[in-house]
Structure 1
Amino acid sequence: MSRKTKRKHVFKEALDDDMSLPTENQTIVRIISTKGNNLHEVLAPNQSTYLVSMPTKFRKNIWVKRGSYVLVEPITEGDKVKAEIVRILTNEHIKCLKEDNVWPPEFSDNKKDQEDESDLLVNRNRLEIDEELSSSDSDSEDNK
């Protein structure tokens, strides 16, 4: 599978409209910082902090930033990493969870809910240039 096809499927899964509620062992947490090697420090509703890992299907395809909310599931192996990210929550997911009274009240006063969900999926470090535009621009410059 090509990188572009894989990315398309990962984006589709991440933005899936599956508004299922978290199971008993899943927790909603907020990303505090990135620690490298696909590890993120998160803040749980009980104000404890711990490390979670990004699953391989999301690595190099989806980026999360500080203040984003994710759904995590605890893992047994390892001492420092306590959980793994199951789903990255978008604004639509958050609205649905608030309507179902599942959203933790500790996170309800944040203004992060108003940000655009597309920020989760865009790598701002690299500009995407349309190949057709760049080739037509260079041709017109060559003719001058």
Structure 2
Amino acid sequence: MGRPKRDIRATAEEATTPPYQLTETQSLAKVIKAEGNSLYACSLPNQQTVLVELASRFRNTVWIRRGGYVLVQLISSEEEKGRVEGEIINVVGDEKQWRKQTYWPKEFPRFTYEDEDEDSTTGKMPPLDSEDEH
């Protein structure tokens, strides 16, 4: 039997709500790559790459995409099991709300389309052949 919808909704609601403060072992991270079996390679604000595991309550409920942000609980070196260095305890759902928090790292800038080059042809129509003939 599947999980009740109320559990799925509660998990999704929890993912959109940022905590008031982070503990010493918690950090925001940017997802670099899905490694498989609920493992993700993430980049911490100090540019360190860590392998983290998705918490079991989020599996088959919340989807994480490359470039997204997650809240990671890092494991101390004594407790470390294999290559896994932490666990994803929350997924940033509403990035705007999370960015308002004081603990959001400056190393994760907001992407804007204004930063792109003016010479870019993305989203523009190709030139007409008749313009070349004149």
Give the TM-score normalised by the residue count of structure 2. 0.70
CA distance in 2, matches of 1:8, 1:104: 28
Note the residue ranges of structure 1 that are not aligned, 5 or more in a row: 113-144
- Larger RCO, structures 1/2 (Cα 8 Å, 6+ apart): 2
- How does the TM-score come out when normalised to structure 1? 0.66
State the Cα distance separating 1:2 from its structure 2 match. Answer: 4.7
Partner residue, 1:79: 82
Larger-Rg structure: 2
Distance (Å, rounded) in 1 between the aligned partners of 2:69 and 2:19? 15
**Which residue does the alignment assign to 2:130?**
none
- Compute the displacement of 1:10 (Å): 1.5
Cα gap change, 1:60 to 1:24, in 2 (>3 Å): same
Match of 2:126 in 1: none
Between Structure 1 and Structure 2, how many residues are aligned? 107
Counterpart position of 2:116: none
Percent of matched pairs sharing the same residue: 33
- The CA deviation string for residues 12-46 of structure 1, in whole angstroms up to 9 with x for no partner, is 2222x354121121111100010000000001111
The Cα shift of 1:4 comes to 4.1
Q: List gaps (5 residues or longer) in structure 2.
A: 113-134
In the alignment, what sits opposite 1:126?
none
Comparing 77-86 with 56-65, which one deviates more in the overlay?
Answer: 77-86
Q: Partner of 2:106 in structure 1?
A: 105
Supply the distance in 2 between the matched residues of 1:27 and 1:60 (Cα, whole angstroms): 23
Change (3 A) 1:18 1:27: closer
Per the alignment, residue 98 of structure 2 pairs with 94
Instruction: String of CA shifts for 1:70-100, please: whole Å, max 9, x gaps.
Output: 1111122313110101111231442222xx2
Tell me the distance in 1 between the aligned counterparts of 2:99 and 2:48. Answer: 24
Which residue pairs with 1:141 in the alignment?
none
Query: Distance in 1 between the 2:70 and 2:13 partners?
Result: 17
Provide the alpha-carbon RMSD of the alignment. Answer: 2.0
Matches within 5 A, 1:9-20: 9-15=10-16, 17-20=17-20
